Amino acid sequence: MDGGRKRAFLALAVAVSIALGTGVAQASESNNAHKTVRGRVRVTMTMLKGGGMTADVDIVPAHGKALRVTNSAQQAALEAHPNAEVAASGTAVGGSLSLTTFQVINDGNPRHLGAQRLAVIKLEIGRYPIKNIGGSVQSVAFRGKQSLATMVANESRGALTITGDEISDTLPAGMSRTCDANYDWADYLYGRHPGYDLYAIVTDVACGQVAGQAVIGGAFSWYYVGMYPEVLFHEVGHNLGFHHASSLDCRDATGYPVSLSSQCTSYEYGDRYDPMGEGSAGRCTYNGYDRLVAQWPESYQQVTADGDVQLRAKNLDADGLPQAITIAGAPAQYGGFFWLEWRTDDMTTCKQRKDHGLQVRIVANGAGEGNHTYLLDMSPDGGTLHRPGRDQAHYYMPVGQTFRDPLSAVSITLKSEDLKTGVAVVHVGFHTAP
Ligand SMILES: [Zn+2]
């Protein structure tokens, strides 16, 4: 029996303590700059215009200034705990913290559930007029079939509803106009417009290559070149706890493209079916795994033995069937679990809405804020380079096709699909390939 596949998805106990370099911490006790700070982990995702991404990690105490974590390995470890309350020790110089150890006191939980209020604040900074809003704020954020509020209400089955206001404001004289003052702007606007759960701050400020920013699991998002709808979906997704929807480009030993191997390169924004992936997907819906992250209702089934499973289309009511299948055995470095969902239709604004088939992603064991998803290429034939911009049909498994993970005994076949009933049949096997 393969012990790996006996692991229960979501049954993991959250690790509550992580120690890094404890010896270093003890050695530096005599240093005056050494301190322990208790606060919330604030992970700010920055989306660059060219599609690149950076993450800044701060520890924000209840009182006092945020400290930016400057050493990269520890930054990456903390990035996995967005919005958690931690006790962190390290060497502080100015607003920077070189972290040596941290302990998670409370892991971050979704804070955006129920009836939430969003303030879309058009912030005139007195230099550039706001333009390129990408439609009216009302139609992009609040009202109509293509709005953020409608997508979220549908995807969450009503677990999250967003209403709110469109507000115009002006940055006061004396406050920095450059976008590295974005938290100061947020503090200022929060004070002037209290009572909202989410704040989308829209400017036209020419922030270098930065298009948008958001705090994972937080309240704030920023838009520096106006607010395009797909960017709003993306940044608010970060506020809901989501990391990026990535993809894998894998090769066999000869360099030929395959769905999965031990030689994969991940593309940070490579999933073009998801607003947490590439923006050019248009206004799509978040993937089913992110429903779990947000603690929205999601009907899924963990499969641990050979058999056929009926799978309901993701965008329809579950109707007693699972809308996703999860299977242990995927490469641990990407999360360890396959996550299957059958897409038939999406929002009319999603450019891939005419495609249908099975999507296979790799996700983490359990759903925590700040976890990536990794979409696999289900038709990696023809030698076409797998890269953003490629024919998106490659990411769907068509009827009759089988994916065999060369690294585990898992095989996945889409046996049939019925677009009228919205039910597909997936065969999951655990045979070792001959
Ligand atoms: Zn992002």
Q: How far is the CA of 24 from the centre of ligand 1 (A)?
A: 33
- If one compares 179 and 350, the residue with the highest pLDDT of the two is 179
| Whole-number pLDDT of residue 381 | 65
Tokens for 270, please give them.
Answer: 């490579």
Q: How far is the CA of 279 from the centre of ligand 1 (A)?
A: 10
pLDDT tens across 131-179, in order? 656 668 888 899 988 899 999 999 999 999 999 999 999 999 899 988 8
Q: How far is the CA of 212 from the centre of ligand 1 (A)?
A: 8
State the sign of the Cα–Cα–Cα–Cα dihedral 349, 354, 356, 359: negative
| Whole-number pLDDT of residue 203 | 87
| Whole-number pLDDT of residue 127 | 60
Q: How far is the CA of 245 from the centre of ligand 1 (A)?
A: 9
151 vs 290: CA distance, rounded Å: 13
Read off the pLDDT band of 347 (50, 70, 90). low
Q: How far is the CA of 298 from the centre of ligand 1 (A)?
A: 23
Is there a contact between 247 and 260 (Cβ–Cβ < 8 Å)? no
Q: How far is the CA of 76 from the centre of ligand 1 (A)?
A: 16
Looking at the chain, the whole-number percentage of residues with pLDDT higher than 90 is 45
- If one compares 416 and 398, the residue with the highest pLDDT of the two is 416
Q: How far is the CA of 223 from the centre of ligand 1 (A)?
A: 12
Kindly list the protein residues that place their beta carbon closer than 5 angstroms to ligand 1, a single-atom ion.
45, 47
Query: Does the pLDDT at position 30 exceed 50?
Result: no
Q: How far is the CA of 161 from the centre of ligand 1 (A)?
A: 22
- If one compares 49 and 333, the residue with the highest pLDDT of the two is 333
State the sign of the Cα–Cα–Cα–Cα dihedral 232, 233, 238, 243: negative
pLDDT tens across 42-91, in order? 888 887 776 677 788 999 988 888 899 998 888 888 888 888 889 888 99
| Whole-number pLDDT of residue 353 | 53
Q: How far is the CA of 37 from the centre of ligand 1 (A)?
A: 27
Q: How far is the CA of 17 from the centre of ligand 1 (A)?
A: 27
Which residues, 6 or more positions from 430, have their beta carbon under 8 angstroms from its beta carbon? 2, 5, 305, 306, 409, 410, 411
Q: How far is the CA of 147 from the centre of ligand 1 (A)?
A: 19
Tokens for 85, please give them.
Answer: 């309350």
| Whole-number pLDDT of residue 94 | 85
Which residue(s) pair with 416 in the sheet?
Answer: 425
- If one compares 20 and 408, the residue with the highest pLDDT of the two is 408
Which stretch of DSSP H or E encloses residue 288?
Answer: helix 288-293
| Whole-number pLDDT of residue 373 | 96
Q: How far is the CA of 235 from the centre of ligand 1 (A)?
A: 6
Read off the pLDDT band of 262 (50, 70, 90). very high
**Which of 51-55, 295-299, 316-320 comes out lowest in average pLDDT?**
51-55
Q: How far is the CA of 80 from the centre of ligand 1 (A)?
A: 15
Show the DSSP H helices in 109-160 as ranges: 137, 148-155
pLDDT tens across 200-256, in order? 999 887 788 888 899 999 999 999 877 788 889 999 999 999 999 999 989 999 988
| Whole-number pLDDT of residue 199 | 97
Radius of gyration of the chain measured on its C-alpha atoms: 22
Tokens for 54, please give them.
Answer: 């950076």
| Whole-number pLDDT of residue 290 | 95
Q: How far is the CA of 44 from the centre of ligand 1 (A)?
A: 9
Q: How far is the CA of 413 from the centre of ligand 1 (A)?
A: 32
Any idea what the Cα angle at residue 243 is, between residues 242 and 246, rounded to 5°?
A: 125
Q: Identify residue 84 by its one-letter amino acid code.
A: A
Q: How far is the CA of 186 from the centre of ligand 1 (A)?
A: 18
Query: Does the pLDDT at position 19 exceed 50?
Result: no
Query: Does the pLDDT at position 7 exceed 80?
Result: no
124 vs 133: CA distance, rounded Å: 13
- Residue 432: helix, strand or coil by DSSP? coil
pLDDT tens across 151-163, in order? 999 999 999 999 9
**Which of 11-15, 304-308, 340-344, 425-429 comes out lowest in average pLDDT?**
11-15
Tokens for 46, please give them.
Answer: 């920055």
Q: How far is the CA of 227 from the centre of ligand 1 (A)?
A: 14
Any idea what the Cα angle at residue 145 is, between residues 142 and 146, rounded to 5°?
A: 75
Alpha carbon 67 to chain centroid, angstroms: 24
- Beta-strand runs (E) in 324-410: 324-328, 336-343, 357-364, 373-375, 402-404
Is there a contact between 73 and 65 (Cβ–Cβ < 8 Å)? no
Q: How far is the CA of 61 from the centre of ligand 1 (A)?
A: 24
| Whole-number pLDDT of residue 104 | 84
Q: How far is the CA of 306 from the centre of ligand 1 (A)?
A: 37
- Average per-residue pLDDT in the chain? 83
| Whole-number pLDDT of residue 76 | 85
